[in-house]
């Protein structure tokens, strides 16, 4: 299986990359980044890409699975339009390139609360991306809805750091249907994605599947042996 990974320099994406490279079922991992990766590996193809012109990197989308952890924040982006370009436009453009070149599965890290009808700008952009991805008719589309991601980031985010310190206690106050809002370790999200890739069976002709994965499902995937979950 060949996998293209977007967002390989981010918190969850970098952990996905390590997991994919350690997975025997994955023969080749292609990363598209705006800056060169320092990592080298015999099964890694690291490509510096212009995300405004992904068609120039079209040949690298000839893979079985596209795994997307690409994203930014409003603070990092600097404006709403810049945020939308990264979290919606770039992700959707990559999905289109993958679909056009035969990718059978697209796995997306989105966010809890994502909805195209949300009054919250961040959640609305995430929801609009999910809505638009569904129209591409991937045979297998899996969308992760994690809560606050817990982990050591390269850049310090004061608000997230404070919430991260409180989340273990707060998680206990979010039972049942509220569990989807629990904070979750980025390592668990990454491991769930890697296990999902390992379990994919992509040679079946079925109706397109769209799966939404919240906290309980993500944790189950992260800590379970890979199962056949493919299209």
Among all chains, which residue has been given the structure tokens 């195209």?
A: 116
Tell me the mean pLDDT in the region 75-97. Answer: 97
Residues sharing a CB contact under 8 Å with residue 43, sequence separation 6 or more, in sequence order: 21, 26, 27, 28, 29
- In terms of Cα–Cα distance, which of 56, 54, 58, 34 is closest to 46? 34
Overall average pLDDT of the 215-229 stretch = 83
Provide the domain limits for residue 33. Answer: 2-222
Structure tokens at 166: 């409180």
Give the model confidence (pLDDT) of 98-127 as tens digits. Answer: 999 999 999 999 999 999 999 999 999 999
User: How many other C-beta atoms are found inside a 10 Å radius of the C-beta of residue 112?
Assistant: 17
Whether 208 is in a domain gets the answer yes
In a domain, 24, yes or no: yes
User: What is the arithmetic mean of pLDDT over 132-139?
Assistant: 97
Domain at 171, CATH number:
3.40.50.720
Distance between CA 140 and CA 103 in Å, rounded?
10
Q: How many residues does the chain have?
A: 231
**229 assigned to some structural domain:** no
Question: Would 105 be classed as within a structural domain?
Answer: yes
- Cα separation, 55 vs 72, whole angstroms: 22
pLDDT at 224: 81
* Look-up of token digits 């979950």: 229
Beta-bridged to residue 9, according to DSSP, are: none
Tell me which DSSP letter residue 88 carries: I
* C-alpha to C-alpha distance for 230 and 86, rounded to whole angstroms: 28
Confidence category of residue 177, pLDDT binned at 50, 70, 90: confident
The residues, any chain, with a CB within 8 Å of residue 140's CB and separated by 6 or more, are 104, 105, 106, 200, 202, 208, 209, 211, 230, 231
Answer whether residue 227 is part of any domain: no
Q: Are residues 87 and 72 in contact, defined by beta-carbon separation less than 8 angstroms?
A: yes
Least-confidence region, from 70-79, 204-213, 221-230: 221-230
Rounded to two decimals, what is the model's pTM?
0.88
CB atoms within 10 A of CB 84: 17
Report pLDDT for 229: 63
pLDDT of residue 69: 98
Within a domain: residue 18?
yes
Confidence of residue 140 (pLDDT cuts 50, 70, 90): very high
pLDDT at 169 over 60: no
In a domain, 67, yes or no: yes
226 burial type by CB count under 10 A (0-12 exposed, 13-18 middle, 19+ buried): middle
* Average pLDDT value over all residues in the chain: 89
Report whether pLDDT(183) > 60: yes
**What is the total count of domains within the chain?**
1
Task: Note whether residue 135 is domain-resident.
Answer: yes
CA distance 82 to 104: 29
């Amino acid at each position: 299986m060949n996998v293209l990974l977007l967002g390989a320099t981010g918190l969850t994406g970098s952990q996905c990359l390590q997991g994919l490279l350690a997975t025997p079922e994955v023969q080749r991992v292609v990363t598209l980044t705006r800056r060169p990766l320092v990592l080298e590996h015999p099964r890694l193809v690291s490509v510096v890409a212009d995300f405004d012109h992904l068609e120039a990197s079209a040949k690298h989308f000839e893979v079985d699975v596209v795994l997307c952890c690409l994203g930014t924040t409003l603070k990092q982006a600097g404006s709403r339009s810049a945020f939308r370009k990264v979290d919606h436009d770039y992700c959707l453009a990559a999905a289109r390139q993958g679909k056009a070149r035969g990718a059978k599965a697209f796995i997306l890290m989105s966010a809890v609360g994502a909805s195209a009808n949300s009054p919250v700008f961040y959640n609305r952009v995430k929801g609009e991306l999910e809505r638009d991805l569904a129209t591409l008719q991937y045979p297998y589309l899996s969308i992760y809805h994690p809560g606050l991601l817990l982990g050591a980031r390269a850049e310090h985010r004061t608000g997230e750091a404070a919430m991260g310190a409180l989340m273990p206690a707060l998680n206990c106050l979010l039972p049942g249907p509220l569990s989807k809002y629990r904070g979750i370790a980025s390592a668990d999200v990454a491991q769930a994605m890697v296990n999902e890739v390992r379990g994919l069976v992509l040679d079946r002709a079925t109706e397109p599947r769209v799966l939404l994965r919240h906290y309980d499902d993500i944790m189950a995937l992260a800590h379970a042996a890979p199962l056949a979950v493919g299209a």
